[in-house]
Amino acid sequence: MTDITRRRSDKKREAIIQAATQAFQEFGVNGTSMDKLAELANVSKRTVYNHFSTKEYLVMHLIKEQWQSALVDINAEYKSDSPLNEQLEELVFQEVSFMCSDSHLELARVAIGHFFYKPEKLKDEVTQLKAQESSLHRWLKKAEADNRLTFEDIEQVVNEIDSLIKGQSFWPQLFKIEDNLSDDDKWRITRNIVAMVLSRYEC
């Protein structure tokens, strides 16, 4: 198989993925027939099936692919010589931005539409997502060890911060109840969250 052949094939494949990504978000997996999809991708239905043997494979491929591209490493080293609010704002802003990013929302929409009535499967996938959230975890631990924050249950704190982030930058956007956030919005939300957290847990 040569480069050029592969290139044509890859273009078709790309078109399928492109169309599927968009259609699944807009109409849902169930609302998108393979015929419709092929038409949107400007590709014959048979070609779709040559690349993805079943609809389920296509869906799973998309979810995993988008997961990869959505997974931006959020990292913020704890610094004992820098103000807490600045550091935490930096971290929370990254989380807020990630949560309301198109790539993450799109992924969440497809995944939820696909898994909503398959809670066992959903649980597995969510477990993976949780790995993502350990950066905040680590930062809080170090700040506590450094005697600048005090709390009893770190899981509780992470939960609270997570709730504040998602409640303002994820759930409303997921259901298209609220518009996308501007950078100003994100910073405003971030500052309020940090102010709240520090007023409660700062020593």
* Residue placing its CB nearer to DNA in the complex, 49 or 151: 49
With contacts defined by CB under 7 A, how many residues of the chain interact with DNA? 30
Does 173 engage in binding with its own copies (CB under 8 A)? no
**Residue 172's beta-bridge partner residues?**
none
203 binds, among its own copies, DNA, none (CB under 5 to 8 A by kind): none
Does 7 engage in binding with DNA (CB under 7 A)? yes
C-alpha pair distances (Å), 180 with each of 58, 81, 101, 108, 168? 28, 35, 9, 15, 11
Evaluate whether 25 touches 109 at the Cβ level (below 8 Å): yes
* Residue placing its CB nearer to DNA in the complex, 56 or 202: 56
Please report how the helices 3-27 and 34-41 are oriented relative to each other, as an axis angle in degrees rounded to 10.
120
Main-chain phi, psi angles of 88, to 5 degrees: -70, -35
Residue 11: both structure tokens together: 């273009």
2 binds, among its own copies, DNA, none (CB under 5 to 8 A by kind): DNA
Does 192 engage in binding with its own copies (CB under 8 A)? yes
Does 33 engage in binding with its own copies (CB under 8 A)? no
Alpha helix segments (H runs only) across the chain: 3-27, 34-41, 45-51, 55-70, 84-99, 102-115, 119-131, 134-145, 154-169, 171-174, 183-201
* CA nearest neighbour of 139 among 157, 165, 163: 157
C-alpha pair distances (Å), 40 with each of 19, 25, 36? 6, 14, 6
With contacts defined by CB under 8 A, how many residues of the chain interact with its own copies? 33
User: Using CA atoms, how far apart are residues 188 and 161, in angstroms rounded to an integer?
Assistant: 15
Does 18 engage in binding with DNA (CB under 7 A)? no
54 binds, among DNA, its own copies, none (CB under 5 to 8 A by kind): DNA
Site string for its own copies, 132-171 (x = CB under 8 A): ------------------------x--xx-xxx-xxx--x
Does 21 engage in binding with DNA (CB under 7 A)? no
* Residue placing its CB nearer to DNA in the complex, 21 or 85: 21
Positions touching its own copies (CB under 8 A) are: 26-28, 30-31, 112-113, 116-117, 119, 122-123, 126, 156, 159-160, 162-164, 166-168, 171, 175-177, 192-193, 195-197, 199-200
